[in-house]
Chain A
């Protein structure tokens, strides 16, 4: 395991390194002055410009510039927005938790919906529950998330008036944004109407979460179904049955845990999809997260913000993928064997 751990960690470091190289190069690839694109400092004051240039190594070669860039990055100096001059890192800190809040809660919802669906399908292979669920999942998988969101808004928010359609909470509750994640902010806030505020947060969360969870849930259902189908044909299931275990014991003690093994392997891919959809959902539901920020920065050609948004989201996805690999290998030691055999 240690060997595997080290391997994965070095892989993570290498990919993160490549990512920072890419992010640094973007400064040059974006139109305009690379120094301005990287630092966000626009000034006509040549003394100030020189100062910024030397602090970022722009009086030296590109390698020095890169390492200076890395240094600034690690110190939390991610430059300032070209739009309003606010430090990019502060904004990342406030927005990252908001994005994570959506992504994590939607993942949980997707797991809760998708895996039982897959198990039910696999147990009824070929019969109507399976056909129904798989038909549902194939069409749900194909719904563009931006269309689904609009339909939900029209039906559940505007016509039925069940849910609000923008933001994290009714701002009149006056919850001070500290972490950026409304659930955490509310939890730590000392608030006179906490339960009412919590209810309001849930109402704000539900639509975006549903919209987000549909695609990963259907993917999970299909994966679970395929994996379970595979597991159910294995000899150990037959032997478990032969030993006289009840159907539910066979399923929950033997089949499901082994099904989860191959499902865990693909969680990374699903998370990547989820992050893509989170960006779009944030735009539609005015959620103050990284995705809506990144997309707006592209319209505004706010290069330091673009770099920060891309770097953060890509790093998040890489990190989650590596963590899932590790989890997988730790939880299912036989996988490590296969991995070494491959290596």
Chain B
């Protein structure tokens, strides 16, 4: 028997809970979140979920349309490509390359960029606005162009593409974090804490950091969507993942050859990419507005 509530307790939900409450009310956001969850599952369990290996060539079933069409067969739910490889298996394994790897790259870039940015903001030396403006301008060079430079130096390939995107994302995290922390540094509440004599670390991690969460969340989702798009774009241009890797961008590039005769081979990887990007963007967007709402209240 549950203990009866003796006192009326007004429990304020934690900030995180408040954001979640806001977020949950947004139907599209929840749909997107579920899709992302599914993609994460595919990424983790592709070998279990996929009916075949992504590179097995069924020479008896070249360019088989998806199962729901007349010529399709249930053996290949989403059809096969021109080499007789199962599209479903390739797409599932592709989630690892096109979603999993960019995700890891973003985490790795954040792990380096955020501390460096915080450090830069807290250290007194690097606060000249000239440097800020300089970075502002230099960072206006699009990430794909920078990635192209790096791939040009290192040579084409998925690992080089990942390295390139990682290198490109670090300064973005650094810059965003630095600006966010810098914005807060001279707010009254920070000065108040400082006057209380807290340590720099405490000031940064407990006082300032929670107030930069919005910027960082936005930056993280933006970086994720950039990384997914750029890695796919490099794959599409033949400078990233190389065949037979089932990376969605390079699958798309290959599929344009048969787009006319077997359109599903082109449509599916593009659709997978599109759904992933929409979900990431919707989740990011909704998180941002949910945090906004919380702050407003």
Contact = CB atoms under 8 A, between A and B. Distances in A.
Contacts of A310: 145, 148-149, 152
Interface stretch (A51-59, A62-70, A245-253, A316-324): A316-324
A317 B140 contact: yes
A29 B239 CA distance: 18
B145 A314 contact: yes
A154 interface: yes
B15 interface: no
Residue among B145, B156, B233 with the highest chain A CB neighbour number at 10 A: B145
Contacts of B232: 144, 146
A73 interface: no
Interface stretch (A103-111, A134-142, A229-237, A328-336): A134-142
Given A146-B236, A276-B142, A298 B152 contact: yes
A151 B270 CA distance: 10
B252 interface: yes
Interface in B91-142: 129-130, 133-134, 137-138, 140-142
Nearest to B266: A150
B165 interface: no
A294 interface: yes
Nearest to B275: A142
B137 A295 contact: no
Residue among B134, B140, B153 with the highest chain A CB neighbour number at 10 A: B140
Contacts of B277: 142-144
Contacts of B137: 11-12, 15, 318, 321-322
B274 interface: yes
A11 B263 contact: no
A211 B232 CA distance: 17
A143 B260 CA distance: 20
A220 interface: no
A272 B256 contact: no
B282 interface: yes
Contacts of B129: 342-343
Given A146-B252, A147-B270, A280-B237, A26 B140 contact: no
Contacts of A343: 129
Given A280-B236, A342-B129, A343-B129, A142 B281 contact: yes
The number of chain A residues touching the other chain, given as a range, is 35 or more
Interface in A1-57: 11-12, 14-15, 18, 22, 26, 29-30
A158 interface: yes
Contacts of A144: 229, 232-233, 236, 249, 252, 270, 273-274, 277
A306 B151 CA distance: 11
A283 interface: yes
A29 B150 CA distance: 10
Contacts of A97: none
Nearest to B279: A142
B167 interface: no
Contacts of B82: none
Interface residues of B, number: 45
Interface string B178-220: 0000000000000000000000000000000000000000000
Given A147-B252, A342-B129, A29 B138 contact: no
A306 B154 CA distance: 13
A141 B237 contact: no
A298 B142 contact: no
B140 A318 contact: yes
Interface in B45-66: none
B259 interface: yes
A279 interface: yes
B210 to A, nearest CB: 24
A343 B130 CA distance: 8
B250 to A, nearest CB: 11
B163 interface: no
Contacts of B229: 144
A11 B134 contact: yes
Interface string A192-220: 00000000000000000000000000000
A26 B153 contact: yes
Contacts of B143: 276
Given A276-B142, A310-B149, 15 more contacts: A18-B138, A30-B153, A138-B285, A142-B277, A144-B277, A153-B259, A154-B260, A154-B266, A158-B260, A280-B237, A295-B237, A295-B239, A299-B156, A299-B238, A310-B148
Report, nearest first, the 5 A-B pairs whose CB atoms are least far apart. Answer: A147-B270, A142-B277, A276-B142, A142-B278, A272-B142
Interface of A: 11-12, 14-15, 18, 22, 26, 29-30, 135, 138-139, 141-144, 146-147, 150-151, 153-154, 158, 268-269, 272-273, 275-276, 279-280, 283, 294-295, 298-299, 306, 310, 313-314, 317-318, 321-322, 342-343
10 contacts: A22-B149, A26-B149, A143-B277, A144-B270, A144-B273, A144-B277, A146-B236, A276-B142, A279-B145, A280-B233
